[in-house]
Chains A and B, each alone.
Chain A
Amino acid sequence: MSLLIKNAMIVNADKMEKNPQDILIEKGVIKRIASSIKEDKGKTIDAKGKLVLPGLIDIHVHFREPGDEHKETVETGVMAAAKGGFTTVMCMPNTAPVIDNRSIAEMVVNESKRIGLINVIPIGAITKSLKSQELTDMFELKDAGCGALSDDGNCVSDSHLMRMAMEYAKMVGILLIEHCEDHQLSSGGVMNEGVTSTILGLKGDPGISESIIVARDIELADYFDSRIHFAHISLKRSVELIREAKARGIKVTAEAAPHHFALTEEELKSFNTNAKVHPPLRTKEDVKAVKAALKDGTIDCIATDHAPHAREDKEKDMDHAPCGMIGLETAVGLAVTELIEPKILTWPQLVEKMSAAPANIMGFKGKGAIQEGMDGDLTIIDPEAEWEVREEDFVSKSSNSPFIGRTLKGQVAATICAGKIVYQQ
């Protein structure tokens, strides 16, 4: 079975083609790219007027299965990812039970194979039950299909244990992803600490709860010559620390979530629990710093931190409502609206952030670029389409998005994974 994409304006991380081309995918792999390929028996998509990007990769989602299937399942998460233009996602281990052993990791892998639309790669835990007490069996998790390890939702709070994790993971050859939060400092904070939290009378989480762990892990990575990837960087100070670490050649990489470049703490003024997230929405200066860091490469990639919560969970008061917001279906719209339109990123740079860099960080072979011989994963985007984010349009099982009601520019027209159309508008 083959798939032919006609009139594709191909965007790769290194360049945007000037003329439309045709792409032929056979057996899941890009067979040929040429100015005109004759149609044959297989399917054809006309991408005229649209941009064709290498399949988007989100290295940070929460699919809630097993344990909280009322919020999301691997299946509904996959549907949401496909609609959002993603062909590969990595799901975090803070499920119930936690992905800290072979059987749970394999369950996620098998479930994603059964669904078969896009690639779902589990992230295993760094510590058992995410408790920061004992390391997980890392060789086994890697062997079971985990693409990285993280205690996301929790920080590895014990510095000695984090040192052990770094040394061990380096030997295993698996990347560690840190959720940077000093829990003693952030304790119970429901939003960024500052003037707004003081006025609202809401408990604040001071930004330094993030940057202290960023600084600690940079020191550890430097000393033990290990790699570390920072999840959802939200703070100007964290950005400065990472920039300096990279300049010194320390092996750090970082991601930012769309809400951290699209929203500020002002969002909490309406007591909208959908805007409660960890790390919290920060100040205008922080948003500016995150955007600048995406531009100059300090922050390598965009990851959604897609965190579904049921309506009844979010209908609680601000102190009790859980943290997180969904992000898969709004990521492209937000990236185009907040980064491409104001000319912070070019289209090739966006491909870098949403496909090439995540593929590179995770070592995904055959992904992150449109070239002959690469995987047939493509995301077709209508760059001019304007659309309103509506609660009823989400295919995720949850609709906890603070972007409901907002008009965004840039919409996914079709998602192709391994040569199969997995979403079409």
Chain B
Amino acid sequence: MSEWTKHDLLDLQGMSKEEIETVLETAKSFKEISTRDVKKVPALRGKTIVMLFFENSTRTRSSFELAAKRLSADTVNIAAGNSSLSKGESVLDTARNIEAMNVDAIVVRHPSSGVPYILSQHLKASIINAGDGCRSHPTQALLDMFTIQEKLGRIAGLKVAILGDIRHSRVARSNIWGLTTMGAEVTVCGPATLVPPEIEAMGARINYDIDEVIKESDVLMPLRIQMERQEQKFLPSLREYAKEFGIDAQKLKNAKKDVIIMHPGPTNRGLEVSAEVADGKYSVILDQVTNGVAVRMAVLYLLLGIKR
């Protein structure tokens, strides 16, 4: 494993193959801890980690919190949710106040792209991006890569398809950076209004033909469709979306035998993925959730646990 030098985890753009491998390797060794009777190691004892969430989250926040606790760190939750904080109060001011209480790391989620980057410029605490706007969700992409490697034994050379609302998806962007760095071929597929052509500049290929994409892919990753996209006129109707782009058993008939279905959650069952498929034999959706804890333990450990 190469030496870890990062102080913050903001993005997978610019993160090297070796660094990603280091996270995945470290996560592998941490995964076992969560299966023990006593699920705790003292690696981050005495460290304080604040979860600063300006956007609702159940899964990611509890995953980070469990990861921190299993490493014996102290955690504090600040859920700004839909309060005045998320409506444009100086996020920097809020973060400065938190840092003044001598915390070691701030795990931040914010609806506006770039906020973790701005915080990292002004604060000494490690900043861990738990999702910013449409830009980046690095731990989600890392846990996705961990799961792909675990299930299919490799990442390089695989064909991974990300399906749906690419335009507004930080999961898609982080996965494109991470997966292409690791040598996978990424195809994005969805309605043209939600798949900006500029995405190809990031290294992904666009294919609007869902049947062709399903047929050739090793990994299918439908994304959550936000219900308000129809109101915002990106889609004629959710019905048409489900029919044309939703992954169901019928469409999967042409898929590869060992295809895996992933989803960053929470799923809209019957919209981007049918219940039958989400719970079916190809689905690794719950493995992603399990692996999320291990990957976030690895990230916290690498950023905070190693004395530099």
Task: State the A residues within 8 Å of B (CB).
Answer: 194-195, 197-203, 270-271, 312, 315-320
Contact = CB atoms under 8 A, between A and B. Distances in A.
20 contacts: A197-B198, A198-B202, A199-B173, A199-B202, A200-B135, A201-B132, A201-B134, A201-B136, A202-B135, A270-B117, A271-B114, A312-B90, A317-B88, A317-B91, A317-B118, A318-B133, A319-B111, A319-B112, A319-B113, A320-B112
Q: Which of B88, B89, B112, B135 has the most CB of A within 10 A?
A: B112
Q: Which of B87, B113, B117, B170 has the most CB of A within 10 A?
A: B113
B114 A200 contact: yes
A195 B196 CA distance: 9
Interface residues of B, number: 28
A410 to B, nearest CB: 31
B194 interface: no
Q: Is the interface of A mostly helix, strand, loop or mixed?
A: loop
Contacts of B202: 198-199
Contact of A317 (B115, B134, B170, B198): B115
B93 interface: yes
A421 B272 CA distance: 70
Contacts of B135: 200-202
A202 B113 contact: yes
Contacts of A318: 112-115, 133
B199 A317 contact: no
Nearest to B136: A201
A312 B91 CA distance: 10
Nearest to B110: A317
B210 interface: no
Interface of B: 13, 87-93, 110-115, 117-118, 132-136, 170, 173, 196, 198-199, 201-202
A108 to B, nearest CB: 29
A302 B8 CA distance: 42
Q: Which of A194, A312, A315 has the most CB of B within 10 A?
A: A315
B88 A316 contact: yes
B54 to A, nearest CB: 9
B190 to A, nearest CB: 14
Contacts of A202: 113-114, 133-135
B200 to A, nearest CB: 9
Given A201-B132, A202-B135, A195 B198 contact: yes
A204 to B, nearest CB: 8
A317 B13 contact: no
Contacts of A199: 13, 173, 198, 201-202
Nearest to B196: A198
Contacts of A316: 88-91
A271 B127 CA distance: 16
A359 B111 CA distance: 46
Given A316-B90, A320-B87, A320-B88, A201 B170 contact: yes
Given A198-B199, A201-B113, 6 more contacts: A203-B134, A315-B93, A318-B114, A319-B88, A320-B87, A320-B112
A320 B132 CA distance: 14
3 closest cross-chain pairs (CB), A and B: A201-B135, A320-B88, A271-B114
Q: Which of B93, B118, B173 has the most CB of A within 10 A?
A: B118
A46 B134 CA distance: 58
Given A199-B201, A315-B92, A315-B93, A271 B118 contact: yes
Contacts of A200: 113-114, 135
A318 B110 CA distance: 11
A203 B232 CA distance: 14
A384 B165 CA distance: 53
Nearest to A321: B88
B270 to A, nearest CB: 28
Contacts of A312: 90
Contacts of B112: 317-320
B126 to A, nearest CB: 18
A188 to B, nearest CB: 10
Nearest to B90: A315
Contacts of A198: 196, 198-199, 201-202
A197 B135 CA distance: 9
A262 to B, nearest CB: 22
A276 B47 CA distance: 37
A319 B134 CA distance: 12
Contacts of A317: 88, 91, 110, 112, 114-115, 118
